[in-house]
Structure 1
Amino acid sequence: MKKKTTIHDISKALKINSSTVSRALNNSPRVSQKTKDLIQKKAIELGYQKNILASNLRTNKTNTIGIIVPRISRTFFSSVISGIEETAYNAGYNVVIGQSLESFEREKELVSTLLSNRVDGLLISVSMGTTNYDHLSNFKTNGGPIVFFDRPITMLDTPSISIDDYEASYNATKHLIKNGCKNIVHFSGFQKIALYKRRTEGYVAALTDNDIPIRPEYILESQLSEADGIEMAKKVLKLPKVDGIYSSNDTAAISAMQHFKKNNIKIPDDIAIVGFNNDPISAAIEPNLTTINQPDVEMGIIASSLLIELIKKTIKTPSEHSKTLGTELIIRQSSQKL
């Protein structure tokens, strides 16, 4: 195995002391540009590679950001990651991505691994299975700052970037009511997640404001996977007079639609449907799906920009920098009864 080139090899070849070589390779202003150029040229010639690990240990920084999402396969999260990665890259940071798969235990392991690998900060959308936040408090104490996105939780001096889930859900449910629906089922995520609790509250408020009774059996909780969508669709077919569904994501809405089609349920004539997320497939299926559009890439850009500022310690009161972004109801065929 070929021996790795060291600073001392460059020093010997150029007859320049090793401390000067080290300063030059670290772009120190104490070394002239002419000497820097000479040393850089020789470093390339000899195949020198900087020891990033040693440098990180000296500076106590890795210029790396950790990202944890429930599922990378979800279009929304992959778009958020795109915004994060581009912003981080432009600021000189690398990213390490993990997916919890909606598992609390897996999320804890990922946070522990990122802490062990000394990432400078963490961007996280917590899993549906997350029951407490001790692992995140430990990261803040022993690692670096955290910014929550999409699924905000309450933690001291920890900002979040999210949308107005209440308003988005209110508008989605109100749209179904305006199109003649009076018996509307809500496909919800687990209520212990603040995001899904707020979406349910928006659904309930829209029904209440329009004098439609709240039926607990019409609120179906799940992880909103494809399989969950099918199971909830089966439950809907056993409920009386359901004429509308508001789903907290497109995945469950679309798999439910497919089940309804197999059972000769016409959409939107028999059951009108509204989803959430504006996944690309929502515009391609037949009938195409009415849905809520979120500013996913923008969310990633804002969240990563904020985290980098927190890492640099340019922000004194992090919680004051939380942001709530707007959404848009995209009306398509699946909800147009009239």
Structure 2
Amino acid sequence: MKKRVTIKDVAKEANVSIATISYVINNKEENLSKETIERVNAAIKKLNYIPNMSARSLASKKSNLLGVVIPQTEVNKQIMLNNPFYSEFISGIEYTARLEGYHIIMSGVEIDKSYLDISVKRNLDGIIILGMYPQEFYNELKKSQIPIVLVDSYCNDHYFHSVQINDRYGGYIATKYLLEKGHRNIGLVTGKIKKEGVSEKRYLGYKDALAEFKVPFNPNYVFEGIVDYEYGLSVAEKIMKNKDITAVFATADILAIGLMKRLKSAKVRIPDDISVIGFDDIYITKFIDPGLTTVKQNIYKKGETAVKLILNCINKKLTSKHEIILPIEIVERESVKEI
């Protein structure tokens, strides 16, 4: 087996000290001559030397690693990458981080394990957290004293930076769109409505629009479950039993897609029999038939923005809390009918 090239081998080849090699590798070349730098780089290339990242991390006190925490569907279940929303979000994070020389470590969070332990052991430079978690989780993370950016979180703590959209407004404009099309019996398909969570904000926006149009709120039109394709399929059965509902606002596109799939298989015509509007504008919404009218947010941009924000924190370009709110808008396709 071929012996791995070490920093000593490079120093010998370039006829310089090990410290000089370390300076070049870690971009601390201020006191080195151009000729020395070129000689070191030539030796690195000739020997195909790959620096030990763990050693570099110890020397620079930076790991160039970002932690990314993604929600789990349920306790002790898989993280939610089966929802295309998360894939698009992670894509924005990974590519932006890679361009800046960073890599990501992605995980869910077990209730009985400390993410603080993970962040310390991995020497993470920063953490991006998607979704809402118990307050104890945030209290623990503050002990890490590393930059943290919350995404889609309404944790009102001055320690954390945040990237989000106005979810309540999104729920409002989605419902208002249906109301303006003449619908009055509007169902809401949503994730579990938890205090200060994204689903609660979109639910409140739904109620805001109903109140503005003087349409009574009917709790029997609200269907709560897990935000996934399977719940969209199953909730369709309940909606089909309620003959009064003419339109549905699904608070996530993945719910809307499951709902539409089951409705169509039961010969329910969309939008002729039931109109559907979603939320997110995930990539596949433009390809399903009919195309899904939805509230568009730039999911990739959300991930990209989170990385840029946390890197500014790591590089000390930010000294105070920053909150970034990204825009949203309605994208009209073919899933809503005017009545």
Structure 2 equivalent of residue 221 of structure 1: 224
Unaligned 5+ residue runs, structure 1? none
Structure 2 equivalent of residue 113 of structure 1: 118
Shift of 1:175: 1.3
Structure 2 equivalent of residue 44 of structure 1: 45
Give, in whole Å, the separation in 2 of the partners of 1:240 and 1:39. Answer: 76
Per-residue CA deviation, residues 24-69 of structure 1 (Å, 9 max, x unaligned), is 4444222211122223222333343322211211222101112223
Structure-1-length-normalised TM-score: 0.88
Give, in whole Å, the separation in 1 of the partners of 2:213 and 2:81. Answer: 38
Q: Secondary structure at the match of 1:78?
A: helix
Per-residue CA deviation, residues 140-165 of structure 1 (Å, 9 max, x unaligned), is 32251111113442233212111111
The reply to whether residue 58 of structure 1 matches residue 59 of structure 2 is: yes
**Residues 16 and 146 of structure 1: is their aligned pair in 2 closer, same or farther, counting only changes over 3 Å?**
closer
**Residues 272 and 18 of structure 1: is their aligned pair in 2 closer, same or farther, counting only changes over 3 Å?**
closer
Structure-2-length-normalised TM-score: 0.88
**Residues 111 and 336 of structure 1: is their aligned pair in 2 closer, same or farther, counting only changes over 3 Å?**
farther
Shift of 1:213: 0.9
Give, in whole Å, the separation in 1 of the partners of 2:25 and 2:263. Answer: 65
Give, in whole Å, the separation in 2 of the partners of 1:307 and 1:96. Answer: 15
Per-residue CA deviation, residues 216-245 of structure 1 (Å, 9 max, x unaligned), is 121111112111112211111233511111
Choose the corresponding residue for 1:306, options 292, 305, 309: 309
Contact 1:160 1:322 in 2 (8 A): yes
Structure 2 equivalent of residue 90 of structure 1: 99
Q: What are the within-5 Å matches in structure 2 for residues 4-83 of structure 1?
A: 4-27=4-27, 28-70=29-71, 71-83=80-92
Give % identity: 30
Q: Secondary structure at the match of 1:275?
A: strand
Choose the corresponding residue for 1:177, options 176, 179, 187: 179
The reply to whether residue 239 of structure 1 matches residue 248 of structure 2 is: no
38-47 vs 271-280, greater mean Cα deviation = 38-47
Structure 2 equivalent of residue 194 of structure 1: 197
The reply to whether residue 273 of structure 1 matches residue 276 of structure 2 is: yes
Aligned-partner residue type, residue 257 of structure 2 = I
Unaligned 5+ residue runs, structure 2? 72-79
Shift of 1:6: 2.8
Superposed CA RMSD in Å reads: 2.3
The reply to whether residue 330 of structure 1 matches residue 331 of structure 2 is: yes
Aligned-partner residue type, residue 159 of structure 1 = H
Structure 2 equivalent of residue 3 of structure 1: 3
Aligned-partner residue type, residue 172 of structure 1 = A
Contact 2:115 2:141 in 1 (8 A): no
Shift of 1:110: 6.0
Aligned-partner residue type, residue 169 of structure 1 = G
Structure 1 equivalent of residue 74 of structure 2: none
Per-residue CA deviation, residues 73-96 of structure 1 (Å, 9 max, x unaligned), is 433322222332333233222222
**Residues 89 and 162 of structure 1: is their aligned pair in 2 closer, same or farther, counting only changes over 3 Å?**
same
The reply to whether residue 124 of structure 1 matches residue 125 of structure 2 is: no
